[in-house]
Structure 1
Amino acid sequence: MSDASRLPAGQHILIITGPAGAGRTTAIRALEDLGFEAIDNLPLSFLPRLFAGPPLERAVVVGIDARNREFGIDRLVGALEEVANLTGESPALVYLDCGTDTLIRRYNETRRRHPLSPTETPRAGIERERALLAPLRERADVLIDTGEMTPHELRAEMARLFGPKDAQADLAIELQSFSYARGTPRGADMVIDVRFLRNPHWNLALRPKNGRDPEVSAFVLGDSGFDAFYSRLVDLLRTLLPAYRAEGKSYFGIGLGCTGGKHRSVAVAEALSKTLAEDGWRVSIRHRDLERAVKSATSDLGMGVA
């Protein structure tokens, strides 16, 4: 969820900050992919120097980290004023935030220590950082709550807010193959079970390969039930995707699952990616469990997964 009501039109200088773990690095990388010149964790004294030369040739995003030894609210405000005087443009302050429990969960998942509480609990560092950043949150031009966002959804939101007009109007689609044995992917808007298709795992010649190999793809797509299933799936998406885009949705995740995430789901995801791209959609694809499945392929000799 974001609030961009105060964002100036045609903004060329973005400052991104927020508590550690809220997604600053992901957001900066997304903007870099959109053509921004990206600089992260810049000392505040260097900020005005970036803009003291010739006029900007492209948009710039600067990440500001509360851990920086020069960090201070007054110092940052002063640096932003200097930048405005040099460029004639007030930088837009983008603040990424999420709930304390979400930040704690993210730190527990990565087993990282919080930078502001290296010898204490993550909660202590998070609360300390929140207090430090509170004035910036109040001043933010754009506030984005990343608590319910996957990294892919955050990237899509950055494209919607700050990308070129064609990217803002478009819908980013992510296809993700996965193994039901390891759970459905988080953030998927639609999940399709393709375990009804014939399984290449039981073909000894195909078992070591994966769904990106032409032989496996031909085997899966040659199933007698595939054509009817696939044509209905494509027809459904051709109905839904334009409607979601018209409603302003910027991201749509589709999970395609089979038993092991190696053969059938991968082959169908690859085929669907090509079809949707030919229809003009922006499509990315991820095979969540493929690498892990390939590593374990040599041990799957009896009761297998595929």
Structure 2
Amino acid sequence: MEFIIVTGMSGAGKSTAINCLEDMGYYCVDNLPPTLIPNFASLIVDKRQHYDKVVLGIDIRGGILFDDLFTSLDALKVAGYEYKIIFFDCLDEVLIKRYKETRRLHPLARNERIQEGIEKERLILTEVKNKADYIIDSTHLLPKDVKDVIYNIFTQKADFQNLMITILVFGFKYGVPIDADLVFDVRFAPNPYYISELRPLTGNNKKVEDYVMSFEVTRQFTEKLKDMIDFLIPHYTKEGKNQLVIGIGCTGGKHRSVVIGNALYNYLKKCGNAVTIQHRDIDKDSKRGK
């Protein structure tokens, strides 16, 4: 029997993950009081109703009952059932934005500010996060990205290093992203903006890609960038880092940075990393070089 415990910060993506796992054939139960886990396990292995793959969504909506989680999980192991814990995390400011967009109340901040509820929850979840098998930081993930990560772990059986990589393509004229861990300036590369045929296109267009990559300096930089990120990933993972944001910027975030960002994304994905890409400024109008 395969048990998966899905938990983490409220608003960080647990529901999306549970829905995805259900689509993959798992029997899913959300918001089960932790104290009922051993009884639930005994029930579903009854010969009349047997399930091989089970997902339990556990979070602080259960109030003080959440304190029983590890006692119940220990009982699960004693009974011979193995389990994995997926923990969803997210930066506070992004969680606050999500709550404001959905106009939902944080379960621990009924009469307080959302930030106060998040701080309480993060403290309560410290132990379970430390014991999690998979920590997925959804700060820069869309729902489809969360589904891809879950699919790769439990269907493709891909190695998961608990390091979510986001390639954030941007334009310097619109500001350097404040949450980037690494920032690379690719304005040294020849600029397609000055080619009238290429100016209205973006780096996602094959003509622009071919132009940018036709120069030796661009190809050399891209290869050196891949090599450096390859070097850093295991060290960041060993340190316990869960989220790595790589900023790649040109003037407007439309041409050169897009091409090089896409190249790095395709390489890291091919290597089996959990990686997403965002083109922050690609659709912004500009009168200056991209």
TM bracket (short chain): 0.5 to 0.7
> What corresponds to 1:61 in structure 2?
55
Matches of 1:218 and 1:95, distance apart in 2: 41
> What corresponds to 1:220 in structure 2?
212
Matches of 2:234 and 2:70, distance apart in 1: 46
The answer to whether the aligner puts 1:282 opposite 2:273 as a matched pair is yes
Secondary structure at the aligned position of 2:264 is classed as helix
- Tell me the alpha carbon deviations over residues 107-137 of structure 1, each in whole angstroms, 9 at most, x when there is no partner: 543325424444542256457x659x95x86
Matches of 1:231 and 1:141, distance apart in 2: 35
Give me the TM-score of the superposition, normalised by structure 2. Answer: 0.63
Structure 1 residue 193: deviation in Å? 0.9
Give me the TM-score of the superposition, normalised by structure 1. Answer: 0.60
> What corresponds to 1:6 in structure 2?
none
> What corresponds to 1:41 in structure 2?
30
> What corresponds to 1:20 in structure 2?
10
Superposition pairs for residues 35-184 of structure 1, below 5 Å? 37=26, 39=28, 41-44=30-33, 48=40, 51-52=45-46, 53-56=49-52, 58=53, 60-67=54-61, 73=65, 80=72, 84=76, 88-89=80-81, 103=92, 105-110=93-98, 111=100, 112=103, 113-118=105-110, 120-123=112-115, 125-126=117-118, 130=121, 134=124, 142=131, 150=139, 167-168=159-160, 173-184=165-176
Matches of 2:213 and 2:3, distance apart in 1: 48
Secondary structure at the aligned position of 2:263 is classed as helix
- Tell me the alpha carbon deviations over residues 30-80 of structure 1, each in whole angstroms, 9 at most, x when there is no partner: 9949x7937463454996255552251x4x332224336xx6518966994
Matches of 2:138 and 2:205, distance apart in 1: 33
Alignment size in residue pairs: 266
- Tell me the alpha carbon deviations over residues 260-285 of structure 1, each in whole angstroms, 9 at most, x when there is no partner: 2221111112233445566x453634
> What corresponds to 1:5 in structure 2?
none
Contact 2:89–2:139 under 8 Å retained in 1? no
Contact 1:31–1:38 under 8 Å retained in 2? no
Can you give the 5+ residue segments of structure 1 that lack an aligned partner in the other structure? 1-10
Computed over aligned residues only, the root mean square deviation of the Cα atoms, in angstroms, reads: 5.1
Counterpart of 1:20 in structure 2: which amino acid?
S
Provide closer, same or farther for how the CA distance between residues 213 and 120 of structure 1 changes in structure 2, counting only shifts above 3 A.
same
Counterpart of 1:216 in structure 2: which amino acid?
V
Matches of 1:124 and 1:107, distance apart in 2: 12
Matches of 1:169 and 1:123, distance apart in 2: 29
Structure 1 residue 256: deviation in Å? 1.5
User: Which of 232, 244, 258 does residue 266 from structure 1 map onto?
Assistant: 258
> What corresponds to 1:304 in structure 2?
288
> What corresponds to 1:193 in structure 2?
185
Can you give the 5+ residue segments of structure 2 that lack an aligned partner in the other structure? none
> What corresponds to 2:246 in structure 1?
254
Matches of 1:66 and 1:283, distance apart in 2: 27
Secondary structure at the aligned position of 2:210 is classed as helix
Matches of 1:62 and 1:170, distance apart in 2: 20
Percent of aligned positions that are identical: 25
Structure 1 residue 168: deviation in Å? 4.2
Contact 2:60–2:107 under 8 Å retained in 1? no
Provide closer, same or farther for how the CA distance between residues 32 and 179 of structure 1 changes in structure 2, counting only shifts above 3 A.
farther
Matches of 1:229 and 1:106, distance apart in 2: 32
> What corresponds to 1:7 in structure 2?
none
Provide closer, same or farther for how the CA distance between residues 121 and 210 of structure 1 changes in structure 2, counting only shifts above 3 A.
same
Counterpart of 2:50 in structure 1: which amino acid?
P
Counterpart of 1:284 in structure 2: which amino acid?
V
Structure 1 residue 192: deviation in Å? 1.6
Counterpart of 1:175 in structure 2: which amino acid?
I
Matches of 1:77 and 1:224, distance apart in 2: 57
Contact 1:261–1:287 under 8 Å retained in 2? no
Contact 1:273–1:283 under 8 Å retained in 2? no
- Tell me the alpha carbon deviations over residues 127-150 of structure 1, each in whole angstroms, 9 at most, x when there is no partner: 7x659x95x866888269x8x984
Contact 2:166–2:277 under 8 Å retained in 1? yes
Counterpart of 1:142 in structure 2: which amino acid?
K
